[in-house]
Amino acid sequence: MDAVWTLLAVVSTVAMLSGAFTRGRDAILRTLGSALVMAGLAFTHADWAVEAGMAILTLSSIQFLYRPYHKVRRELQASLASLVVLLAAAATTHHYPWAVFPVGFMAVLWVITGGPARNRRKEAKSVRREEMRKVSEQAAAAHDSAVDLDRLFNHPRLPGVARERLHIVLRRADALHADLRTRQVSDRLIFEVEQIHEDYAPTAVRSYLALSPATADTAPIEDGKTGAVLLQEQLELLDSALDDIATAAQSAGADGILASHRFLRDKFGPSGDDLRL
């Protein structure tokens, strides 16, 4: 039976070594599982596994302690929790829980040397870096979208009437989007304008350009309408949709000021009693 305990101690030690110093859910599970096994082995002839586990977890806890906390929070918590389990097992089985001293000393040193403030700076820097990355991606996407729109607008196969209507739709969408962004309107309205500019109008043009050049303007597709006619109708629908969005935004603004007026009138306006002599 001792051979079984020894084998289990070796396996748990190897498993802990493979997980205690790395990040990720699997590594955390290996660390916690190994610690529980080692805690159980403390009551067998393979109790040396507890000493090995405390040594490994002491080093891993110190390692994670001096790394950016927002990145290794779960790993540090798992290492410390596993270490507490082994310390409890060591104390119960009359092993000296020595690991508490180096970990405690390094934790105090971390605080004294500005560890918390350093972590906050690193986290703020990481947040700024992520924001810059998102802004860069958005700028790249906007540039790609602008290039695509320019290519579609100047495509030689696009009928002149459709090009003129597309220009009107895109120009109106730009102006309406800028106007809505300066007012307190529903995000849904702003999103719909963005969709018209970035998705619906370009998709309509792409669908037309995907038709065969020989039949796009001559072959009927639906109800006797050619691809060119259907494209024109789609662009007119989008133009009409912009009218509806502008009307909805205007109504929302009017409703807002009316609600404010009624509230203030009811709260501060003269009551019936004030008008009596």
Residue 127 included in any domain: no
Residue ending a domain, choose from 57, 91, 113: 113
Written as one letter, the residue type at 18 is: S
Residue 250 included in any domain: yes
CA dihedral 162, 164, 169, 174 (to 10 degrees): 140
Residue ending a domain, choose from 113, 145, 165: 113
Q: What is the pTM of this model?
A: 0.49
Contact of 46 with 2, CB cutoff 8 Å: yes
pLDDT of residue 254: 63
Rounded alpha-carbon distances, angstroms, from residue 8 to 4, 24, 92: 6, 24, 20
Distance CA 29, CA 22 (A): 11
HSE (side-chain half, CA atoms, 13 Å) at 25:
0
Residue 142 included in any domain: no
pLDDT of residue 96: 85
Residue 120 included in any domain: no
Backbone φ and ψ for 225, nearest 5 degrees, come out as -95, 135
Residue 121 included in any domain: no
Residue 168 included in any domain: yes
79 plus 168 within the same structural domain = no
Structure tokens at 99: 């690991």
14 plus 102 within the same structural domain = yes
96 plus 19 within the same structural domain = yes
Residue 245 included in any domain: yes
pLDDT of residue 59: 92
165 plus 244 within the same structural domain = yes
107 plus 11 within the same structural domain = yes
Q: What is the DSSP letter of 269?
A: S
Residue 141 included in any domain: no
Query: What range does the domain containing 92 cover?
Result: 2-113
Domains held by the chain: number: 2
165 plus 94 within the same structural domain = no
98 plus 166 within the same structural domain = no
Written as one letter, the residue type at 233 is: E
* Residues in the chain with pLDDT values less than 50: 272, 275-277
Structure tokens at 63: 């390692």
Nearby residues of 185 by Cβ (< 8 Å), 6 or more positions away: 249, 252, 253
